[in-house]
Structure 1
Amino acid sequence: MKMRKFLFGGALLLLFFTSCKNKQAQTNAAAQVKAYPVAVISASDVELHAVYPAVLKGEQDIDIKARVEGYIDKIFVDEGAVVRKGQPLFKINSPSSVQMVENAKASYNTAKLDVERIRPLAEKGIMSDVKLSAYQNTLASAKATLDQAKATLNWATVTSPVDGVVGTLSYRQGSLVTNATVLTTVSNISKVVAYFSVNEKDLLELLKEFKGNTQAEKIKNMPAIRLMLSDGTQYEETGRIETISGVVDATSGAVNFRASFPNKHGLLRSGSSAKVIIPSEHKSAIVIPQKATFAQQDKVLVYKFQGDSVVQKVVRVKTTPDGQAYVVTEGLSLGDKIVTDGIATLTNGQKIKEQK
C-alpha cells in the first residue's frame, strides 16, 4: 500500500515537472519570435514619370550652300552667331559668274545697237517691220540673259534664309566651293523639337492612361511634358507631344515620338541630348517603400503578414520619381499588411510578431 502511494506520488511529481518544463519551453519559444515593423496598405495619390533619352533638333535646320562656284572671299559670321533672315553670311568670288555677266552685257549691247540701226531704216520703209521685230526680240532675249547673269552674280553673297544660330563653319576664306558644298547650317531654335523612341509595350501602357478613342485624341489629352538636360537639371519650360509614328520599327521594336519645347532664351541647341519626362497621375494608388521588397530572378516580392507568420507575395510595381518607393499595380490590396523593414532575415512561412 505504501509502495502504491509512493509510485502515485512520484508520477504526479513527474507530471508537474514535465508540465512546468513544457510551459517554460513555450515561453522561451514565444520569446524567440522576433518582432518586425508591419504596415497596413492604404491608398494615396502619386505622380509617376516615364523617362526616355531624346535628341534635340531646331525647328528648322537648314544647310547653307553656295549657289555659284568660286572661292570664299569673306566670312561675315562666326560659329554660334545669332543671325536674322537675309543677313549676309559669306561672299563668294565667282570668276565664272563675272564672266557670264560680261558676256551677257556684250550681247545686250550688240542687240541694242542692231535695233537702233534698223529702226530708222524700218521707219523709212527701207527695212521691213518684220525684220525690226526680229531684232527687237533678240534685244529682249539679250536683256533677259543679262538680268539672269546679274542675279547669278548677286548669289555670290550668301544670306541666311531664316532667323537662327550658325553651326560649324566647315570652310574658310580661300576655299573652293560649288553649289553642292554645304558651307554651314543655320538652325531656327525659337522652338526646339525632341525626338525619342518608346518600345511597343510601353507605348500600349502609355496610351491606356489617356482619354480618347483615337491616337490623335490621346495625344491631345496627354499632359505637358518636361525635359531633363544633360547636366541633370530640369528645363524651365514644359513641352507637348506632337506626333507618334504609326509604324513600329522592325529592328528595334520601338515607335518614334516628336515633342516640341519653346526656347525663347536660346538655352536649347540643335544636336544636344536630353531626357523627356512624361508624367502620369495615379489616384488612390498603393505605394510601398522599396526596402520592403526584394528581387528573386526577374520578380519583385514582399512579405505579407498573415495571422502570426509571413508569406512571400509577388507584386508588379512602378518606380516613383524619387527612387525610394514603388507603386504596386498588381499583387496587393488595400488593408493587406506587409513587413516594411528587416526582410533580409525573413523566410517564407516564418512566424513573427508585429512590432509595437
Structure 2
Amino acid sequence: MKTILKSTSLALLAILFIFSSCSNKQAGNAQMMSQVREYLVQEVSPKSITLYQNFPATLEGEQTVEIRPRVAGYIEKIFVDEGDYVKKGQVLFQLNANDIRAQVRSAEAQIKVAESQVATAKIELEKTEPLVEKNIISEFQLESVKTNLQSAEAQLAQAQANLANAKANLEYTMISSPTNGFIGTFPYRVGSLVSSSVTLPLTTVSNTASMRAYFSMNEKAFLQLIKNLEGATTAEKLANLPEVDLILPDQSVYAQKGKIEIASGIVDPQTGAINMRASFPNAEGNLRSGGSGNIRLPNYLEDVLLVPQPASYEIQGKHFVYVTNSENKVVNTEIQIIAGDLKDVFVVTSGLKAGDKIVVEGITTLRDGMEIKPKLAGEAVAQSNQPSNN
C-alpha cells in the first residue's frame, strides 16, 4: 500500500513539473517578445537637390593701371585725392616744368639757327649753279655747296626733333588718367622728386566697372564640375555653367550674379589646384580692387537619395546606416556620400537604392542583425537646400 502511494506522489510531482516548465517557457517567450524595441525608420526615395560649394576669392578691377612719371621732376600739384573716381584724360598730377620749358626755348632757338643755315646754303647753291653752267667754276665746287645744304637741312631736322621731344616732355609734366576708375594711395606728396625709375608708382587707377574674382579649386572638383556640361572644349563647357554668387566678408550675398569666364590650362604642381576667374558687374562701385570674398558654385543634382545625417555613423572615414530587411532585422550597410553644404542630410552616391528603409533614430543602440519593430516616419528630408553663406 505504501508503494502505491509513493508511486502516485511521484507521478503527481512529474505532472506538476511539466506544467511548470511549459508555463515558464511561455512566460519567457512573452518576455522576449516584449523586448523587441520600436525604432523610427524612413524610406529613401529619389529627390532633386542643389549643393553649393564655396571657394575663397580675391577681387581685382578689370583694369588696374600704375601711374608713373615719364620725366623727372618735383611734384608741384595733386589734383585728386585718394579714393576719388576719375575719368579717362583727367589730370592727376603736375610736375615742376621750369627746366623742361627752358629746354623748349633752347630747342626753338636751335631751329631758328638751323633755318638760317638752310637759307644761306640755298642762296649759295642758287649762285653756284649758273657759274657751273658757264664753266666758270668746277662741278666739284657745286657738289660741295649741295653737301653744305644737305648738312644744314639735317641740322634743321635734328633741331625740330629736339623741339618735339622737349614739348612732349613738357606735356608729360601733366600726368593724366589713362582710364576711368578709382584712385589708389599716394606714396609721394607735393614736393617729392620723382622720375621714371622710382620704385613705387605715383598711384594706381582701377577700372572697377566689372570686377574679376580669382579663385582656385582642386583638380578633382574641377573635373566633377565640368564632367556633365555640354561643349567640346573647356571654354564651351564653362560657358554653360550656371551663374555664381559672391559672398562678401560680412557674409552678405552680392546683389549681382557672376559668370565663370576662364580656367587656367595648367594644374599647379605644388597645390594640385586650377586657377579660375569669374566676373561680376560693378556699375555702382560697391566692390573694390584688393577685396576678398567667396565664390559660391551651385551643383544641381537630380534623382539622388538623401539620408538624414543622424541616421548615419562614421568609422575610419567610412559612413554606415542600418537598413531593415524583410524580417525586420537591421543590416549594417556602408554608403558613399557627398556632404556638400547641406546642414542635416547627406547625398548618397552608392550603397542604397530607392525604397530601402533606414533607421533614423537611436542607431547607437543597434547591432548588425538585431530584430526591431519598425515604425515608418513621415517625410523628414528637405526637398530643397537653402544655401548657407558660411
Same structural fold, with TM-score higher than 0.5 when normalized by the shorter chain: yes
Are residues 1:281 and 2:284 paired? no
The structural deviation recorded for 1:99 is 4.0
Give the conservation status (yes or no) of the 8 Å contact 2:267–2:273: yes
Deviations 1:149-173 (A, max 9, x none): 1111101111111111112222211
Alignment match, 2:277: 258
Return the TM-score normalized by structure 2. 0.84
Count of paired positions: 356
Q: 2:207 pairs with 188, 193, 208, which one?
A: 188
**Does structure 1 residue 106 correspond to structure 2 residue 123?**
no
What SS does structure 2 have at the residue aligned with 1:170?
coil
5 Å-filtered alignment, 1:1-356, equals 1-94=4-97, 96-115=99-118, 128=145, 131-181=148-198, 182-306=201-325, 307-355=327-375
TM-score when scaled to structure 1? 0.91
Amino acid at match of 1:63: E
Q: Kindly indicate whether the alpha-carbon contact (under 8 Å) linking 1:53 and 1:276 is maintained by their aligned counterparts in 2.
A: yes
Q: Which amino acid aligns with 2:231?
A: G
Q: Which runs of 5+ in 2 are unaligned?
A: 130-141, 377-390
CA RMSD of superposed structures (Å): 2.3
- Inter-CA distance 350–175: structure 2 relative to 1 (3 Å threshold): farther
For residues 352 and 180 of structure 1, do their structure 2 counterparts lie closer, same or farther at Cα, with a shift above 3 Å needed?
farther
Equivalent position amino acid for 1:9 in 2: L
CA distance in 2, matches of 1:343, 1:104: 94
DSSP-derived class of the 1:79 partner: coil
CA contact (8 A) 1:69 1:94 kept: no
| Cα offset, 1:41, TM superposition | 0.6
Check 1:95–1:44 CA distance in 2 against 1; reply closer, same or farther (3 A cut): same
AA at the equivalent of 2:67:
I
Distance across 2 between alignment mates of 1:54 and 1:318: 23
For the 8 Å contact 1:88–1:159, the answer to whether it is kept is: yes
Q: Which residue identity lines up with residue 242 of structure 1 in the other structure? A: E
Distance 1:349 1:94, change over 3 A: farther
Inter-partner Cα distance in structure 2 for 1:334 and 1:196: 37
Give the Å deviation of 1:336: 0.8
Counterpart contact for 2:263–2:277, Cα < 8 Å: yes
Which amino acid in the other structure matches residue 208 of structure 2?
Answer: I
Moved over 6 A (4+): none
| Distance in 2 separating the partners of 1:37 and 1:11 | 47
Measured after TM superposition, the shift of residue 132 of structure 1 is: 4.1
In structure 1, stretches of 5+ residues that fail to align are none
Distance 1:253 1:111, change over 3 A: same
| Structure 1 counterpart of 2:152, one-letter code | Y
Contact 2:53/2:340 (<8 A) preserved: no
Greater Rg, structure 1 or structure 2?
2
What amino acid sits opposite 2:194 in the alignment?
Answer: V
**Larger displacement relative to structure 2 (151-160 or 27-36):** 27-36
Pairwise CA distance, 1:219: 1.4
CA distance in 1: counterparts of 2:63 and 2:53, whole angstroms? 28
> Offset at 1:308?
2.7
**Residue 281 (structure 1) shift:** 1.2
Cα contact 2:330–2:372 (8 A) shared by 1? yes
